[in-house]
Amino acid sequence: MWWIKASIQEYVLKSWSLVKIGTTAVQKKLFFSLGKIKQKISKLYSRAVTEHDFSQIADELGVSKNEVSEMSSRLAGPDLSLNNLVNNSENTSSELIEFLPETRPNQEIKLIGKQDSTKKQNLLSQALKLLNDRELRILTERKLKDSPTTLDVLSIEYNISKERIRQIENAAFEKIKNFMLEHMPKCV
């Protein structure tokens, strides 16, 4: 019987509101005991519970006064439906849900982005074919690798200065950039 009661309480705690109310043991204790203790205080003193009573509740439950205050304000607030009507400035009614921004990506935009990405990759492949073997190798080693090869290593490999490697890299990059800019409007 105890496990069934615990399971029911866990379900109530999780589905009480769309916003999760209690996650720690202290918050769970407050969630299930605060109402009972408030009723007891109300009957004992024949008045509504005030903030002055929070210290007594905190002592009884073994929690801090701030935690009691926070849980009391959370439980006192009404649940709002996203389907509640809101009057906006044009004297028309809208539901609250209409004011929430959409965070999921639009399926059409995703599809267009994927097609656009494929076109750009094809265009880059065509642009790389414009380069000779040395330009392609230097550009690949310097710009298209996760850890680029140093100018020093490439200058030793090609038996030319580091400055000349940098010039070849920049010239190859410019060729590709110009080709992409020239052909980009056609694929968009």
pLDDT digits (tens, 9 = 90+) for 83-127: 888 776 666 678 888 888 877 777 777 777 777 788 888 888 999
Comparing 64 with 135, which gets the higher pLDDT? 135
The whole model's pTM is what?
A: 0.40
Tell whether 9 is covered by a domain: yes
Q: Write down the pLDDT at residue 185.
A: 61
Tell whether 6 is covered by a domain: yes
Q: Write down the pLDDT at residue 138.
A: 93
- Please check whether residues 72 and 111 belong to one and the same domain: no
Helix (H, G, I), strand (E, B) or coil at 54: helix
- Please check whether residues 183 and 114 belong to one and the same domain: yes
User: Phi/psi of residue 141, each to 5°?
Assistant: -65, -35
- Please check whether residues 67 and 129 belong to one and the same domain: no
pLDDT digits (tens, 9 = 90+) for 53-87: 888 888 888 888 888 888 887 777 777 777 888 77
Tell whether 48 is covered by a domain: yes
- Please check whether residues 7 and 53 belong to one and the same domain: yes
- Please check whether residues 113 and 57 belong to one and the same domain: no
Degrees to nearest 5, angle at CA 140 with 135 and 145: 160
The parent domain of residue 168 ranges over 107-187
pLDDT digits (tens, 9 = 90+) for 163-172: 999 999 999 9
CB 96 within 8 A of CB 82: yes
CATH number of the CATH domain containing 178: 1.10.10.10
DSSP state of 18: S
Count H helices, E strands: the chain?
8, 2
What would the two tokens of residue 51 be? 């903030």
Question: What stretches of 46-150 show up as alpha helix (H) in DSSP?
Answer: 54-61, 65-76, 107-128, 133-143
Tell whether 95 is covered by a domain: no
**Residue 23 pLDDT more than 70?**
no
- Please check whether residues 177 and 116 belong to one and the same domain: yes
Nearest to 80 by CA among 91, 66, 96: 96
> Structural domain tally of the chain?
2
- Please check whether residues 69 and 114 belong to one and the same domain: no
Comparing 51 with 129, which gets the higher pLDDT? 129
CB 65 within 8 A of CB 54: yes
Q: Write down the pLDDT at residue 17.
A: 56
Comparing 118 with 26, which gets the higher pLDDT? 118
Tell whether 96 is covered by a domain: no
